């Protein structure tokens, strides 16, 4: 497929939005304006739904200055969808492509979108329809193969690291306090792991084990309720409290049916819109933890962080924003050099200073695959992360907040013990 094409471009945003998904859109808009072979840029309104129902937004009409503001806003500006093209949809897609002279497709999504892009590619070949398709990666889950990390991950990592750092300080305010936080990430533990990052922002800490999250449960390892309770008891015995992070994906390791919700067209079940997993683990702890009653009752709380992880306004990582923009603009540059059927990837430069460049990989290496955390980033106790993970993820989140927990000397007691 090396014939130079001329026609309209279509941008499709698919799946769950990220805080920087519109940066990639802005990058595509900026770079597209430099190429005369791209006539107009259309946006599929609500992803595949827009493509099937011929709902296109005419992005070339817009004042170019809006893209910077759109880029800084969370959510999928074009509208998204969680749909998979059916065999019966394929004919329609090419009718729409033909009717609107679509020659360039930028499919912005995760591993499901890569699968959809592949399906369209194969159908185009069968029909001899000339179209260039590139997959522009995007997922908070960071579970795409072949790329150092996925645009969207840096921002969610920043958000959850700030949340858990603050939550741990809130939790240590109380005696006998166990706090569980359920985070997103589907079947990969990257987001759960990122909750540890802000430990590095603490000032004057000798023992990093004292800082929460004290325990992180990742879908990459088996989950045992017995070991979970033993871990929590051990942490409680040393610190008198515990801040725990659980990846939503461990629900499957306990009992899929107990926690699973709706299923989308790709077969993904909804993991994150219910407090059930957190409530279940909280009740396990409440029933089993041996605690010091002289410090009062056990305080066990569970939060499920929910959609704010991917959408908190004003907290996107700068590195993530820049890279998402770069990925979008580079997708256009690659395509104008006749690249197609590939995903744009981030490649980390070797050396002491963090930097990423883009490259390309085959779509087949990405579609339907999930990049899990390597064992080398998971600690030996299988309830936390290693320094290798900190080195990997810290450059993605613009640094960590400077925090300090008070460790003042106790005043000598002079009275006899009190019994309330």
Tokens of 320: 């993530």
In the set 141, 143, 168, 341, the catalytic residue is: 141
Strand-pairing partners, residue 10, are: 42, 105
The answer to whether 135 and 291 are in contact (CB under 8 A) is no
Nearer to its own copies, 31 or 156 (CB): 156
Nearer to its own copies, 215 or 271 (CB): 271
Backbone angles phi, psi at 11, to 5 degrees: -110, 130
Nearer to its own copies, 276 or 364 (CB): 276
For the CB of residue 348, give the shortest distance to its own copies in the complex, in Å: 26
Spell out the residues 6+ positions from residue 240 whose beta carbon is closer than 8 angstroms to its own: 175, 176, 292, 295
**CA-only gyration radius of the chain, Å:** 24
Run of H or E including 26: helix 21-32
Tokens of 130: 């000339």
- How many Cα atoms occupy the beta-carbon half-sphere of 404 within 13 Å? 5
58 is catalytic: no
Nearer to its own copies, 56 or 217 (CB): 56
- How many Cα atoms occupy the beta-carbon half-sphere of 386 within 13 Å? 11
Length of the chain as a residue count: 420
For the CB of residue 420, give the shortest distance to its own copies in the complex, in Å: 7
Q: For residue 148, give the nearest of 325, 337, 357, 352 by alpha carbon.
A: 357
Dist. CA 386–CA 287, nearest whole Å: 31
Q: For residue 57, give the nearest of 72, 69, 46, 71 by alpha carbon.
A: 46
For the CB of residue 92, give the shortest distance to its own copies in the complex, in Å: 6
Dist. CA 218–CA 379, nearest whole Å: 11
Tokens of 378: 């998971």
CA distance between the termini of the chain: 82
For the CB of residue 29, give the shortest distance to its own copies in the complex, in Å: 11
327 Cα distance to chain centroid: 16
Q: What residues are labeled active site?
A: 141
């Amino acid at each position: 497929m090396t014939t130079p094409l001329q026609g309209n471009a279509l941008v499709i945003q698919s799946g769950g939005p990220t805080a920087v998904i519109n940066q990639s859109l802005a990058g595509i808009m900026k770079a597209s304006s430099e190429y005369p072979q791209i006539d107009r840029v259309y946006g599929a309104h609500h992803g595949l739904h827009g493509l099937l129902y011929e709902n296109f937004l005419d992005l070339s009409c817009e004042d170019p200055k809006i893209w910077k503001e759109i880029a800084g806003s969370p959510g999928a500006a074009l509208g998204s969808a969680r749909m998979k093209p059916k065999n019966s949809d394929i004919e329609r897609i090419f009718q729409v492509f033909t009717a609107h002279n679509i020659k360039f497709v930028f499919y912005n999504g995760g591993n499901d979108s890569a699968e959809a892009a592949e399906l369209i590619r194969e159908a185009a070949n069968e029909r001899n329809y000339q179209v260039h398709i590139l997959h522009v990666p995007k997922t908070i889950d960071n579970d795409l193969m072949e790329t150092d990390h996925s645009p969207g991950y840096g921002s969610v990592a920043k958000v959850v690291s700030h949340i858990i750092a603050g939550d741990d300080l809130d939790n240590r305010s109380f005696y006998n306090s166990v706090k569980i936080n359920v985070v997103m990430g589907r079947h990969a533990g990257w987001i759960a792991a990122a909750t540890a990052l802000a430990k590095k922002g603490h000032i004057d800490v000798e023992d990093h084990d004292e800082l929460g999250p004290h325990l992180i449960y990742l879908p990459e390892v088996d989950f045992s309720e017995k070991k979970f309770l033993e871990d929590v008891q051990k942490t409680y015995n040393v610190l008198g409290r515990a801040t725990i992070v659980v990846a939503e994906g461990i629900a499957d390791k306990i009992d899929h049916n107990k926690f699973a919700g709706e299923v989308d067209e790709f077969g993904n079940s909804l993991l994150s819109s219910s407090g059930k997993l957190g409530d279940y683990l909280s009740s396990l702890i409440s029933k089993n933890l041996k605690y010091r009653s002289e410090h009062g009752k056990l305080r066990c709380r569970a939060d499920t962080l929910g959609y704010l992880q991917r959408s908190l306004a004003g907290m996107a990582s700068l590195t993530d924003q820049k890279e998402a923009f770069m990925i979008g603009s580079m997708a256009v540059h690659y395509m104008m050099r006749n690249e197609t059927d590939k995903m744009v990837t981030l490649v980390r430069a070797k050396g002491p200073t963090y930097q990423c460049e883009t490259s390309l990989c085959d779509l087949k290496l990405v579609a339907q695959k999930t990049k899990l955390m390597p064992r080398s980033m998971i600690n030996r106790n299988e309830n936390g992360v290693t320094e290798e993970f900190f080195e990997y993820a810290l450059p993605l989140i613009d640094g960590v907040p400077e925090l300090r927990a008070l460790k003042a000397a106790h005043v000598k007691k002079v009275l006899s013990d009190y019994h309330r």
